[in-house]
Structures are given as C-alpha cells and as structure tokens.
Amino acid sequence: MARVLLGVSGGIAAYKALELVRLATAAGHVVRVVQTETSLSFVGAASFAALTGAPVLTDELERDPARGAFPDQAPPEHDPLSHLELVRNADVYLVAPATANTIAKLAHGLADNLLTSAALAARCPVVVAPAMNDGMWAHAATVANVATLRARGVTVLEPGVGRLASKGEEGAGRLPEPGELLAAVEAVLPAASGGPMDGLRVLVSAGGTREPIDAVRYVGNRSSGRMGFALADEAAARGARVTVVAANVALARNPRVEVVEVETAAELQVACEARFDGCDVLLMAAAVADFRPARVADGKLKKDVVGDELAVAMERTPDVLAGLGARRRPGQTLVGFAAETGDEAVAYGRRKLAAKRLDAVVVNDVARPGAGFDVPTNEVTIVTAGGERHVALTSKGEVAAAVLDTVAELRAVASAEARP
Ligand code: CTP
C-alpha cells in the first residue's frame, strides 16, 4: 500500500487520470488529488473526490477538510499547510497529465499553484507523465525542461505515440495508459518504502535548548544533537517519515528528514505538541532545560550596572515529554532519554518510564568516558517494562539501531495485544 498524491493539470487526457485513480485504489493504494484550475474544465473535482474518498484541492489557500491526511490516516489536530502536509504524507507524487506548461514550471521551480508548490516541497519520488501535442513535446523548450527534470531525479515518462486529441493528428504526446501509469508509480516505490518502518511517522527531538538570560546570553547544555540525528537518520533509512525538532544543532541535515528549528524549551514544546498527534513513534532525545531564567533582561546586561555579582532567578520549565505521555493515544510508542550519573542510573530511568507514561527509556550514564554529550559514541541501557538491554560503548548510529530495534519489538507486541 502506498499513499499516492496525484497532480492533475489541464489537458484533455485528464479523463485518463480518473481511471488511474480507480486502478490504484483497487490495487490497495490510497490517493489524494490536487488539480490545477484549468484541469477543472476537463474533469470536475467531484469525480476525483468520489473515486478517492477524499477532498480535492486546487487552491493553495483553500482549507483542506482532511488537513493533509490521506484516506488511511487520521487528520492532525492542527491545520497544516496543504502543499507541505500532502507531500509529507505521500509516498510518491505523480503528475498526470503533465502539460507542457506544467512541465516548464516544474523545471524552473515555479510554485504558482498547489500542484507546482507541492512539487517543490516534495521529498518523495516524483513521477511526471507528459501529455501534449507532438509539436509541443518536440519543442526545444520542452526537451530542455524534461532533461532538467530528469537530471534532478524526477521520473519523466515517455509519452505514448498514436492518435492525439486534435482531430486527425498523430504523433508522440499521448498520456501513457492508466495501467502503465500505475506500473510507473509502483516502480519508484521501493526507493521510498519497503523498509521495516515503512510509512511510520517518527518524531524526534534533538539537541539542547538555550534559555535566554538577556539579549546575548543564555543558559544551555552540552548536547550536540548527534544522538537525535542518528535516530532520525536510522529511522529514515528504515523507511519512516521523520521530523526532527532540532534545538541548536550544528550538524549536517539529511535531505530525507524534515527539520524544525527551535531554540528554547518553550519553542520545543510548541513544535513537539503540534506534531505529536500525527506521529506513531516519539523519540525524545533532546536535552530540554529543566529551569530557565524567570525574567529575560531587556537588551544586554552591563557589568557596571549589575555590579560584582549576578544572581539569575530560575523557574521550572514544563516537562514536555510528561505532557505528551499524558495525552498519548493507542498505537503510539514513546521513548524518553535519561542522562544520569552513578549506580542508580537504571533505577532512575525505570522510574521515569512509569512517571512519564513511556514505553522505553534510554539511560546513559553521562559520567562514563565516551558516553553522553558531544561525543560520537555512547553506551546506554534501554529500559522497558519487560526488561533491560545494555548496549556496550559503540557509535551513536549503532545505538540508534538498537533503540529502533526495541521500538519495533515493542510495537509488534502492542499490535498483537490490540488484536481481538
Ligand atoms: N524532558 C522534557 N522536558 C523537560 C525535561 C526533560 O521533555 N523539561 C525529556 C527529555 O527530552 C528526556 C526525558 O524528559 O527524554 C528525561 O530528561 P531528564 O532531564 O533526564 O529527566 P528529568 O525527569 O528532568 O530528571 P532529573 O530530575 O534527573 O533531571
């Protein structure tokens, strides 16, 4: 099963896209459709809506009643931007029919309607199925545009040869038949899916928050974000759709992972809460400040004004993870991280498991050499209700793999228990 986003642009061949939707849904896929204004003159949105069982969008600013969710998904609680959320959920984006005009826009990165802006935001494979008059297909501009798209990794299908829409005309430019379109879509899917976490939505928090004292100073911690980013990379490699809420992380970005930048615990809380309901797995690796300055000074504190001593009153921050644990829904898997020191580390971790309503706590003894903050290695104990798994000192990538193996085991047990 795949989530197929179908972009329909304005050509006579749009009617064939209806048949494609029928074939795709019969094959077990779920489909959402975006149409250009012009395409509505050829096929009405009501036809696509009936076949997909989901609203059809044409306008970028139009509110999506399904809030970017595909028919197999529960809509998130917030109202996301359609062009971003639809492609984030999609496993593949098929533009069929793609007119010469739409192909030109895609090649030049224009985003002047929902179809093109969704293409610009897409990180899933994009398949373009051209349909146009043979002269337009052979035109140097179209040839160059197609070459540009292909060089960028977009799959541009060869149009069929035969009778064209205009009376008496024949040549290359026919939209491939619906069966061929479906085959082309399915051919690109293994690149995006087929992994053990296929289709799962994973939310990761990474890095360390910074709490401002004044306009230039902050209270922070030594977390580099390496552990969180390793988890995100590993989850993406296993086929998950990953979003990282990154607090002050200076590491390279993985193009397959969506990154939301935050600075403070309050910003991290807002970002995580907005995305929590839509995720299947939460990996809370960020080092979130437990305290922040109660008041942020206006401008920069001056030595001669402050005097010899500076006392900064600190207040507690909300426990983001505990808040999310309190509103968790069935089917979600929550993993916390605990930076501890000393012999009691695992016992503290086990207490957090219950207190924050988690499925696992990854405990790392930050006092051990090679473990914890700002180093590429880690040594952890993964604590679950059923036991403990020690991961000896190794790379954070290996630790991430062990954490995700545990998540997979926990989810297999939970789904077996949920069955009647
Ligand atoms: N965490 C959070 N919000 C906070 C503090 C922590 O979401 N304000 C999360 C962290 O991301 C981590 C887990 O809670 O996944 C454990 O963090 P830790 O600071 O070790 O836990 P505390 O319960 O604050 O324990 P302690 O009293 O030992 O600091």
pLDDT of residue 330: 94
Ligand 1 pocket test, pick from 284, 292, 348, 353 with the greatest ligand atom count within 8 Å of Cβ, gives 284
Cα(355) to centroid of ligand 1, in Å? 11
Ligand 1 close to Cβ of residue 124 (< 6 A): no
Q: In sequence order, what are the residues at sequence separation of 6 or more whose Cβ sits closer than 8 angstroms to the Cβ of residue 238?
A: 195, 196, 197, 198, 404
Query: Per-residue confidence of the chain (420 residues) as pLDDT tens digits?
Result: 789 999 999 999 999 999 999 999 987 789 999 999 999 999 999 999 999 999 999 998 889 999 999 998 888 888 888 768 899 899 999 999 999 999 999 999 999 999 999 999 998 999 999 999 999 999 999 999 999 999 988 999 999 888 777 777 778 889 999 988 998 898 787 544 556 788 899 999 999 999 999 999 999 999 999 999 999 989 987 888 899 999 999 987 776 788 899 999 999 999 999 999 999 999 999 999 999 999 999 999 999 989 999 999 999 999 999 999 999 999 999 999 998 888 889 999 999 999 999 999 999 988 788 887 878 888 999 999 999 999 999 989 899 999 999 999 999 999 888 877
CB 394 within 8 A of CB 379: yes
Nearest-CA residue for ligand 1 atom 28 is 340
Domains, the chain, ordered by start: 3-187 (3.40.50.1950), 201-418 (3.40.50.10300)
Ligand 1 close to Cβ of residue 334 (< 6 A): no
Phi-psi map region of 225: left, alpha, beta (phi>0 left; psi -120 to 50 alpha): left
Distance in angstroms (rounded) separating the CA atoms of residues 55 and 287: 40
Encoding tokens for residue 325?
């644990």
Nearest to 358 by CA among 342, 392, 382: 382
pLDDT of residue 255: 62
Cα(137) to centroid of ligand 1, in Å? 59
| Burial of 286 per CB tally in 10 Å (0-12, 13-18, 19+) | buried
Ligand 1 close to Cβ of residue 30 (< 6 A): no
Distance in angstroms (rounded) separating the CA atoms of residues 56 and 18: 13
Give 377's strand partners.
395
pLDDT of residue 135: 94
Ligand 1 pocket test, pick from 352, 357, 359 with the greatest ligand atom count within 8 Å of Cβ, gives 352
pLDDT of residue 192: 45
| Burial of 414 per CB tally in 10 Å (0-12, 13-18, 19+) | middle
Ligand 1 close to Cβ of residue 273 (< 6 A): no
Cα(395) to centroid of ligand 1, in Å? 23
Looking at the annotation, which residues are catalytic?
221
pLDDT of residue 191: 45
Ligand 1 atom index nearest CA of 339: 20
Nearest-CA residue for ligand 1 atom 14 is 321
Ligand 1 close to Cβ of residue 338 (< 6 A): yes
CB 100 within 8 A of CB 139: yes
Element (H, E) at 390: strand 387-395
pLDDT of residue 289: 98
Cα(230) to centroid of ligand 1, in Å? 20
Nearest-CA residue for ligand 1 atom 16 is 338
| Burial of 135 per CB tally in 10 Å (0-12, 13-18, 19+) | middle
